[in-house]
Amino acid sequence: MNNLVSVPKNGSLANSNLNQNFPTLSNWLDDIFNRDLPSVFASNFNTGITLPKVNIKETADAFMVEMAVPGLKKSDFHIAIDNQVLSIATETKAEKEYEEENYTRREFGYSSFKRTFTLPESVNDDTINASYNEGLLTILLPKKEEAKQKPARSIKIT
Q: Where are the domains of the chain?
A: 5-45, 54-147
Average pLDDT, the chain: 77
**pLDDT tens-digit series, residues 61-116:** 999 999 999 888 899 999 999 999 999 999 888 888 878 777 777 787 888 889 99
Rounded-to-integer distance, Cα 132 and Cα 138, Å: 6
| Whether pLDDT at 20 is above 80 | no
Rounded-to-integer distance, Cα 62 and Cα 78, Å: 21
The CATH number of domain 54-147 is 3.40.50.300: no
The residue ranking higher by pLDDT, 53 or 149, is 53
| Residue 28 binned pLDDT confidence (cut-offs 50, 70, 90) | low
- Bridge partners, residue 91, by sequence: 112
| Residue 57 binned pLDDT confidence (cut-offs 50, 70, 90) | very high
Q: What is residue 42's predicted lDDT score, i.e. its pLDDT?
A: 43
CB 88 within 8 A of CB 79: yes
Rounded-to-integer distance, Cα 105 and Cα 110, Å: 17
Q: What would the mean pLDDT of 26-39 be, rounded to a whole number? A: 56
> Does the predicted model carry a pTM greater than 0.75?
no
Collect all residues with Cβ–Cβ distance below 8 Å to 58 and sequence separation of at least 6: 64
